[in-house]
């Protein structure tokens, strides 16, 4: 049985196109601004300086903020509408920089980062109880301008906010030109996994944010305080793992095996034809 060269070509080109088609339907990873990615740095973390030059080389993730309307006492309008977040880690400590516009510097200006603790899901509003799901606590890293320090806290529902007996979070704020830069730093892992979020490199965890504009209105009342604040939903945070080249080794091995398979197959076919 004889086949023309054009017939063979049709089949082979079709086959190659088919393989390429299979590859084309593979899903491509979406890269939206839904996660904060802390790159690993060698050397010193800019843990004490919100204005360190290195921050300008870190790509920010930007998250929209809403007034806290979920639970009374709510507010319907909050000062901060967008929050820009950058992060770095050195394998031991993680440092997260929040940046947002606030027209005035006030002693009661405050910001916070929230995480889930352990494997249980926690509601983004202070880990408040859920009817059909057993929730866990949240870990809150809090900073207030007039305190000039970080505070490590826990909550499991509104009204349960408590300051931890062991404080692992450091925080520092810097205000200039209508912009707050607030830096939070903590070891990736702590000795209190029941209360502190534990950050393992390479894995995604949930993160949420809150900001209070501590300006006073004409009656002397704080514009935003307690549950009256700007909040974000849950987003993702990842401390990037150190570079891993094992994928290249596996790929090289696979290429070698595939070449070997082809070689043996063609040799067998040739032997069959000549027999």
Show contacts with other proteins in window 46-65 (CB under 8 A): 63-65
Show contacts with other proteins in window 73-132 (CB under 8 A): 74, 76-77, 81, 121-125, 128-132
Task: Select from 8, 148, 163, 264 the one that contacts other proteins (CB under 8 A).
Answer: 8
| Residues contacting residue 228 through CB under 8 Å, at least 6 positions apart | 67, 68, 73, 74, 75, 78, 212
Instruction: Compare residues 154 and 185 and give the one whose CB is closer to other proteins.
Output: 154
Q: Is 67 in the site for other proteins (CB under 8 A)?
A: yes
Task: Select from 71, 104, 162, 176 the one that contacts other proteins (CB under 8 A).
Answer: 71
Q: Is 172 in the site for other proteins (CB under 8 A)?
A: no
Q: In what helix (H) or strand (E) does residue 258 lie, and over which residues does it extend?
A: helix 246-274
CB 75 within 8 A of CB 122: no
Show contacts with other proteins in window 201-230 (CB under 8 A): 202, 204, 230
Token pair in block for residue 84: 């820009």
Token pair in block for residue 273: 């034809």
Q: Is 163 in the site for other proteins (CB under 8 A)?
A: no
| Residues contacting residue 146 through CB under 8 Å, at least 6 positions apart | 107, 108
Q: Is 254 in the site for other proteins (CB under 8 A)?
A: yes
DSSP, collapsed to helix, strand or coil, labels residue 208 as: strand
Instruction: Compare residues 4 and 220 and give the one whose CB is closer to other proteins.
Output: 4
Please provide the DSSP assignment of 225-249 as one string.
Answer: -TT-SEE---EEEEEPPPP--HHHH
Instruction: Compare residues 70 and 192 and give the one whose CB is closer to other proteins.
Output: 70
Could you tell me which of 256, 250, 87 has the C-alpha nearest to residue 182? 87
CA 32-34-35 angle, to 5 degrees, is: 110
- Rounded to a whole number of angstroms, the minimum distance from the CB of residue 39 to other proteins is 12
| Residues contacting residue 269 through CB under 8 Å, at least 6 positions apart | none
- Rounded to a whole number of angstroms, the minimum distance from the CB of residue 260 to other proteins is 9
Instruction: Compare residues 15 and 107 and give the one whose CB is closer to other proteins.
Output: 15
Site residue total, other proteins (CB under 8 A) = 85
Instruction: Compare residues 180 and 209 and give the one whose CB is closer to other proteins.
Output: 209
Q: Is 31 in the site for other proteins (CB under 8 A)?
A: yes
- Rounded to a whole number of angstroms, the minimum distance from the CB of residue 40 to other proteins is 13
Task: Select from 101, 135, 179, 187 the one that contacts other proteins (CB under 8 A).
Answer: 135
């Amino acid at each position: 049985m004889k086949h023309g060269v054009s017939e063979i070509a049709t089949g082979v080109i079709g086959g190659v196109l088919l393989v390429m088609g299979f590859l084309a339907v593979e899903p491509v990873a979406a890269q939206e601004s839904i996660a904060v990615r802390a790159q690993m740095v060698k050397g010193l973390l800019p843990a004490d300086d919100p204005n360190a030059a290195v921050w300008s080389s870190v790509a920010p993730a930007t998250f929209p903020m809403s007034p806290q309307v979920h639970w009374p006492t709510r507010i319907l309008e909050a000062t901060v509408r967008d929050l820009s977040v950058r992060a770095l880690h050195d394998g031991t400590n993680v440092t997260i920089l929040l940046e947002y516009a606030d027209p005035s510097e006030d002693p009661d200006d405050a910001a916070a980062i929230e995480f889930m603790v352990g494997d249980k899901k926690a509601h983004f509003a202070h880990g408040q109880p859920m009817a059909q799901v057993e929730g866990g606590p949240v870990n809150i890293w809090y900073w207030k301008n007039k305190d000039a320090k970080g505070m490590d806290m826990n909550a499991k529902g509104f009204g349960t906010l408590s300051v931890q007996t062991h404080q692992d979070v450091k925080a520092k704020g810097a205000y200039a030109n209508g912009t707050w830069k607030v830096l939070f730093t903590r070891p990736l892992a702590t000795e209190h996994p029941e209360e502190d979020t534990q950050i393992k490199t390479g894995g995604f965890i949930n993160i949420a944010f809150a900001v209070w504009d501590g300006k006073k209105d004409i009656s002397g009342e704080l514009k935003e305080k307690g549950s009256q604040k700007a909040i974000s939903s849950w987003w993702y945070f990842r401390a990037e793992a150190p570079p891993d080249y094992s994928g290249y080794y596996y790929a090289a091995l696979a290429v070698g095996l595939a070449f070997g398979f082809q070689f043996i197959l063609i040799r067998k076919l040739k032997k069959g034809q000549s027999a």
